[in-house]
Structures are given as C-alpha cells and as structure tokens.
A and B are shown apart, each in its own frame.
Chain A
Amino acid sequence: MFKVLKSGFYTTLQDEGRFGYRDKGVPVSGVMDVGVVRNANILLENDHDAAVLEITMTGPTLQFERDTYIALAGAEFATTLNNEPISNNKVHKVKAGDILSYGRLINGFRAYLAIKNGFKTKEVLGSRSQYYPITKRGSLKDHEELKYDPYIDFEPKISELKVKSLLDEKVLEVSKGPEFKLLDDEQLENIFIKEFTVAKEYNRMGYQFNEKIKGHDWSMLTSATLPGTVQLTPSGKLIVLMKDGQTTGGYPRILQLRDKAISILAQKKLGDKVTFKLA
C-alpha cells in the first residue's frame, strides 16, 4: 500500500487508455505525455501499459508502506525522497515508511510517478485510467490508499536513461485535418505564422488559446474526433482536444497533432506559447 498524505492539485491514475468504447462515447483517456511514461516503465522493466500517477502543477506527498522501486518522469519538480532531492529518469529504491514529496514546479506541467509492476487498482472497461464518471473518482483524494505489489531485489538492466527533454519545445507538428481544405489563405497564413498562447481553459479534455483566427459559418454533421484534433469554432477559436476529449464533435477539424506534438502540448500551461507547423 501507498498512502496519499496530500493529493496535490490534480493527481490521477493513468495507463495507456481505455480502448474499444469510443463508439459509445467514452474518451480514450490515458497518460497525456506518452513518451516520457514509456521511458519510466522501460527503466522499471514494466509492461508498457503499467498504471502510473499523473501529477499536475502542484505535486502530492506520498508515503510508501512496502519496499519497492520507482521512476519519475515528465515535468521537473523539486522532488525529495525523505528530504533528499531525487531526479527524473532514474530507478530509485524506496523502503517501507519512505516519504516522497513534490515541491516547486520547475519546468513543464505534468510529472509521472511509475512504480515497479504498476499500480493495481480495479480496471473499469479494460483500463485503470481515472475519468469521472466512468471511474468512481476523477482524481486522487487526501488520505487515499493505492495498492501495489512490494518488490525487494530488483536489479535494473539500466538504472538511468539519458533522454532528450521536450519540455522546452514549442513547435507542434501537425497533419492536415479532414476539413483543412475549408481554410482560406488568410486563415492559413494566420495559423502557421501566429504564436498561440495557452488560455485559462486547458486541461485533460482540451487546450484553448488566447489568439483567434478568422471565424467561419461552415456547418457540418457531427463526426469523430481524436486526441490531438484541432477544431475551429465559428468565432475563430482553436480548440485542441486531448486525452479526455469528447469522441465526436460538430466543429471543423482543421489540423491533427502528431503524437509527439500531443506530448509537447501536454507539458504546456497558462501563458506558454506554441506554434503549428505542417509535418
């Protein structure tokens, strides 16, 4: 077991996602920054879909009740294990009673805590990813306990990964969306020249920006949307759908983020700037 002493601003349990129910309107969910989580699970020699904690903006304080091994990834926080600083992309041994605590956010927005063999909560519709109301709760609460299997003699093949961080990247590579050809020259120029600043409406469902482009009065029949779909509203706002985003929508889908661009955007917060570039 693992005690959540303080849950932080928004800490959720996530795996690769809930596949197979999009035709029933269930968002796919899963970790927002797939690349960094893959590395953490590789370090721990976990299955690629092992469940991890996704930690947002203000981190939690956690106490381990059994020995195990962990790896941290994603956003950089001032993180300590029993008051000793520890860093990302490394295997750390933890003992029963140890306290992991997240301090100040230094860079990025979403950090991950992976644990040897993953967290063992009950699956709902084939996934452990929290998404209310499919799962009973949408995020962790103070004093909650989470299950994991203890592990004592893990000898990692590699104990540290040197990876190129994407936290400072701001160019989002996109492909043309299904309604791309509706855009006129003015709209095209604006999309690919302007910098877009993350507005206060940003979360696991989607990201919006302060800057607008020219609007439109196109109407279309509702059709499928995906994580990474960029919708253009009639008033000219761009909405990028993310992992908890709705599965269908009625706004033109002008661009589609590449996987790497979804990871880059997932680490952005209020006021951060991005640009779009055709891949």
Chain B
Amino acid sequence: MEYPISIRSFGEHAVLIEWPNEVDDAILEDIIQFRSFLKQNCLEPQEWEMVPAYNSLTLIDRERTIDYQMFKAQLKTWYRERVGVKSRLRYLWKLPVCYDLDFAIDLEEVAERLGQSVARIIELHTSNIFTVYGIGFLPGFMYLGGLPKELEVPRRLEPRQKVAKGAVGLAGKQTGIYPQESPGGWNIIGNCSVPIFDAKREEPCFVNVGDRIQFYAISRAEYDLHKIQGEVGIYQFEKIKLDV
C-alpha cells in the first residue's frame, strides 16, 4: 500500500512528511515502516532525529542545513522504492494502574457525568487496547488512541496547578499518563505505579510509537510494592510481542 504523502520544508534543519489526515493504525504502521527503512538504509542515526506522530514524520538534521528541493526529491524516491524492512518488534505493554480513590480524585465525578458505575469505568478502561500515536508534550508522555466512546468526557474547566506524577487521565477522545508532576486539565481516574520514563535508564522510555498499551487494575498494596521496585529499578515490565 502506498499513501499519497506530502513533503514540506520545516526550517533550515527539518523536513516534514505528512500522510492523509486521519488517526488510523494502518497509516501509523506505514510511517513506522518508512522510518525504519530510512534509519537502516538512508539516514545516519548520529546525524538525524526522526519524530513520528499520528500522520506525520519529521526528519531533523542535528546541524547541517538541508537542501530542501534535492532532499524532497530524494525522499519521494525512497518512499516509492522502499522495500519491506524488518522493523523493530512491536509490543503490547501491560501497565498497572491503581484506581483507589486516594489517587482517582475525579473518578466518582466522571462516573456520574458518564452515567456509569465506577466499576464499569474501570472495566472499560482496562479492557481496551490503546495505540501509542505519539510521544511528546513532556518526556515520556504518550498520545494514546482508541478510547471507547463511553469514556469520552470533556477536560476539566479549571486546570489544576499540580497533577501528580503517574496520574492517569481522561480528556475528550484521549487517555494518558502524566510522566512527571505538572499542571494539567485532564480528569484523573487513577495512578500508574511504574515509571514510563526514567532518565537513569539507558533507554529512558522503553515504549515506542506504534506500540500498544493495556492497563490493569492493582490494589493499593501492589501499588506501594511497585513504587519501591520502580525506584530501585528492579520492576519487570510486562510485555507481549505483537505480530504486525
């Protein structure tokens, strides 16, 4: 499958490649495949950074100024001639979330607004598999797609000055985890006990764009245990290899 891609200049050091303007797993897959192809065959990883998000891939040169017209033509050829490359394995990550009301400060309100029981909200949130469409905004913040309609709730009218690290939120069509303490306007329905991002690790964020996420509910006692394991760096993340 070949998509109609468009290529645009983005300053002296970057070029933006855009796929059709849709949130779609197949498009994301094509973007990740092309990125792997470029990485393996065309662009030196020491020189280039590649940022995928939803329907786009941005290629950034660390230092040099890009000759846009030449590079654009080159990219078009590469896209047309790209062959299936073995891309990095895709994983489904199982992430533990404690939905205790101590953390889930908006859970009861969300349940009421959505006309559901708290138990049903948790069930919906944990039975669904989400796609990581991008990582940005904060280090390790994942843009997750695939929220069921029943969980769509508008963001809070007044953002909070401080949302806790690990807070799991709902807002519009999105759900996600705050990887660090920050201001935020999402409805908080739980807290993830393990660090998605940790600058002390050689790979600070093991999740990649294109991976899948599924949450599962844990007790307060398990939460406290994970917290300690996470801080010492011995927590074992649960992952399942995916066929894509």
Q: Which residues of A contact B (CB under 8 A)?
A: 19-27, 124-125, 133-135, 175-178, 220-224, 226, 228-229, 246-249, 253, 256-259
Query: 7 more A-B contacts (CB under 8 A) besides A24-B205, A25-B135?
Result: A21-B204, A135-B199, A175-B9, A223-B55, A229-B11, A246-B137, A248-B135
Given A224-B16, A256-B10, A259-B12, A22:B134 Cβ within 8 A: no
Could you list some 20 contacts between A and B, CB below 8 A?
A21-B205, A22-B51, A24-B140, A24-B197, A24-B205, A25-B137, A25-B139, A25-B140, A125-B204, A178-B16, A221-B23, A221-B54, A224-B51, A224-B56, A226-B10, A226-B14, A248-B51, A248-B53, A248-B136, A256-B10
Residue B8 at the chain A interface, CB threshold 8 Å: yes
* Set of chain A residues within 8 Å of B12, measured between Cβ atoms: 175, 256, 258-259
Q: Compute how far the CA of A176 lies from the CA of B134 in the bound complex, rounded to whole angstroms.
A: 24
Residue pair A222, B10 in contact (C-beta under 8 Å):
no
Q: Which of A133, A247, A257, A259 is the one whose CB lies under 8 Å from B136?
A: A247
Q: CA A270 – CA B166 in complex, angstroms?
A: 35
- The answer to whether B136 and A221 have CB atoms under 8 Å apart is no
Label chain A's interface by main secondary structure. loop
Whether A258 touches B199, Cβ cut-off 8 Å, given contacts A224-B58, A247-B136, is: no
With a cutoff of 8 Å between Cβ atoms, the chain B residues found around residue A23 in the complex are 49-52, 135, 208-209
Within the complex, what minimum Cβ distance (angstroms) separates A270 from chain B? Answer: 22
**Residue B180 at the A interface, CB < 8 A?**
yes
Q: Does B69 contact A (CB under 8 A)?
A: no
Given contacts A25-B137, A175-B9, A175-B12, contact A247 B51 (CB under 8 A): yes
Interface positions of B (Cβ within 8 A of A): 8-14, 16, 18, 21, 23, 45, 49-56, 58, 60, 62, 133-141, 143, 179-180, 197, 199, 204-205, 208-209
Partner of A223 from the list B11, B16, B180 (CB cut-off 8 Å) is: B16
Select one of B10, B11, B21, B199 contacting A134, CB under 8 A.
Answer: B199
Bound Cα distance A253, B58 (Å): 13
In-complex Cβ contact of A124 among B45, B138, B199 (8 A) = B199
Q: How far is the CA of A221 from the CA of B54 in the complex (A)?
A: 7
A221-B138 in contact (CB<8A): no
Which of A21, A26, A177 is the one whose CB lies under 8 Å from B10? A177
Cβ–Cβ contact B136 & A222, under 8 A? yes
Which chain A residue has the least Cβ–Cβ distance from B137? A246
A26 — nearest CB in chain B belongs to which residue? B139
- CB-CB nearest in chain A for B50: A23
Expressed in whole angstroms, the minimum distance between the Cβ of B194 and any Cβ of chain A is 16
Note all chain B residues with C-beta closer than 8 A to A256. Answer: 10-12
A176 pairs with B199, CB closer than 8 A: no
Of the candidates B52, B60, B141, the one whose C-beta lies within 8 Å of that of A25 is B141
Is B62 a contact of A223 with CB atoms below 8 Å?
A: no
Assuming A177-B10, A226-B13, is B49 touching A20 (CB within 8 A)? yes
B204–A22 touching, CB < 8 Å: no
Known: A19-B49, A125-B204, A259-B12. A223 touches B60 (CB 8 A): no
Q: Are A223 and B135 in contact (CB under 8 A)?
A: no
Residues in A neighbouring B209, C-beta threshold 8 A: 23
CA distance A246 to B56 in the complex (A): 17
Known contacts A21-B204, A24-B205; decide if A224 and B136 are in contact (CB<8 Å).
yes
A20 vs B44: C-alpha distance in the bound complex, in angstroms? 12
